[in-house]
Structure 1
Amino acid sequence: MNTLGSRIAHYRKVKGLSQQALANECGWESQSRIGNYERDTREPSFDDLRRIAKALRVTLNDLLNPAMLIAESEEGRYEPEEKLSLRSRQVLDRLMQAASQGRLVEQDLLLLELIAQRLERPED
């Protein structure tokens, strides 16, 4: 579950919703928007992310945590790895707090996504 789209799809399936049902919960007529997000062919706006998180009854952090090392639990939630350094834990805690309070703006998300992509590349 490395991409935002795969996390949206995961939570949607955990909730037992079709793409159309999730689109309806978000106030959209067509499921194509959800399909595009899940295939990562379109980036959701921050407002769309909020709608999706609310409809799925998850936090924005649940959808936006690609920079974290995560392990899936039986409930479909994610727990930070215990092997994080104190400094890493502090940074992630501040990011999680900002995300849960809706204080991350689009530019923040773009920067975090770039960092996550860099970390996903094998070491040169």
Structure 2
Amino acid sequence: MNTLGSRIAHYRKLKGLSQQALASECGWESQSRIGNYERDTREPSFEDLRRIAKALSVTLNDLLNPVMQIAESKDGRYATDQKLSARSRQVLDRITLAASQGRLVEQDLILLEQIARRLEKPEA
């Protein structure tokens, strides 16, 4: 499950849905949209990802990348009890806004994953 499309297909099959059934669950008439996402020939907007995640009963984290765990709560934002600096909150707010506007593409997510991995490494 190396790509977003392969993860969508994986969770769709786990739930026992056809591409058409998943498209219907998301409120779309045609299954071609799901097919394009699964073949990675089209990148879903953040809103489309939310619809797909909800229809598949998975989190955005599950779809985006099991390694890159974005901060997520029930409303799709980081938890308010997290100890974040004002600057970190500002950055997360900007990332959330860009994602909600569909301005993040797979390459952006890869870069964010790399940054997250660096932050997870213990300081020597």
Using structure 2 for the length normalisation, give the TM-score.
0.63
> How far apart in 1 are the matches of 2:54 and 2:6?
17
Write the deviation string for residues 3-54 of structure 1: whole angstroms up to 9, x where unpaired.
0000000000000000000000000000000000000000000000000000
What's the CA shift for 1:98?
3.7
Superposition RMSD in Å: 2.4
Say which structure is richer in strand.
1
> How far apart in 2 are the matches of 1:99 and 1:114?
22
> How far apart in 1 are the matches of 2:111 and 2:34?
23
What's the CA shift for 1:60?
0.3
> How far apart in 2 are the matches of 1:59 and 1:43?
18
What's the CA shift for 1:96?
3.1
Identity of aligned residues (%): 74
Write the deviation string for residues 45-97 of structure 1: whole angstroms up to 9, x where unpaired.
0000000000000000000116x1xxxxxxxxxxxxxxxxxxxxxxx6xx432
User: In structure 2, what is the equivalent of residue 97 of structure 1?
Assistant: 71
> How far apart in 2 are the matches of 1:2 and 1:100?
26
Using structure 1 for the length normalisation, give the TM-score.
0.63
Q: Which runs of 5+ in 1 are unaligned?
A: 69-91, 118-124
Larger radius of gyration: 2
Amino acid in structure 1 at the alignment position of 2:3: T
Q: 1:9 to 1:116 in 2, by over 3 A?
A: same
User: In structure 1, what is the equivalent of residue 2 of structure 2?
Assistant: 2
User: In structure 2, what is the equivalent of residue 59 of structure 1?
Assistant: 59
User: In structure 2, what is the equivalent of residue 22 of structure 1?
Assistant: 22
Q: 1:38 to 1:100 in 2, by over 3 A?
A: farther
The equivalent position to 2:108 in structure 1, one of 94, 108, 111, is: 111
Amino acid in structure 2 at the alignment position of 1:64: L
Paired residues in the alignment total: 91
1:102 is paired with a residue of what secondary structure? coil
